[in-house]
Amino acid sequence: MTGYHDKGHAHSSYFNIAMLREAVPHQYWINPIDASARGIQDGDITEIFNDRGRMHIKAKVTERVLPGVIAVPQGAWREVNEEGVDIGGCINTLTTQQPSALVKGNPQHTNLVDVKRA
């Protein structure tokens, strides 16, 4: 999993603006090869998970991301349901808060995850 800045908000600012959310839906990108192997279609609600957490988020099936990689937009507000699943689509649910060893910076642009239909 890799993270990216989408056009609908700046970091987490403006994420709550309905007009922007309508214009730029909060969804992650998955390659058609990976989506097909998992029975995922464009617009499906899916679960992205690893040993750090679980989130539900809508899939955008596109060739604009390589097979074996998913791209999740950063800046979403975390919203945890009664099952402990983040339904807000916050990428930090799946990343480490441990700084990188070399520069003590943000290490969270490459994370191992799996995806399935929710």
Say which CATH number the domain at 34 has.
2.40.40.20
Count CB neighbours of 18 within 10 A. Answer: 7
pLDDT of residue 68: 98
Q: Tens of pLDDT along 54-64?
A: 999 999 999 99
DSSP-derived pairing of the beta strands 2-4 and 70-73: parallel
Is 70 exceeded by the pLDDT of residue 83?
A: yes
Overall number of domains in the chain: 1
In the chain, the amino acid numbered 60 is K
Q: Tens of pLDDT along 17-47?
A: 888 888 889 999 999 999 999 999 999 999 9
Those residues with Cβ within 8 angstroms of residue 89's Cβ, 6 or more apart along the chain or in another chain: 26, 28, 55, 56, 57, 72, 73, 76
Nearest to 48 by CA among 115, 96, 93: 115
Alpha-carbon Rg for the chain, nearest whole angstrom, is 14
pTM of the prediction? 0.87
What's the domain range around 46?
A: 2-117
Pair 47, 41: CB distance under 8 Å: no
Is 80 exceeded by the pLDDT of residue 108?
A: no
Is 80 exceeded by the pLDDT of residue 53?
A: yes
Average predicted confidence (pLDDT) for the chain: 91
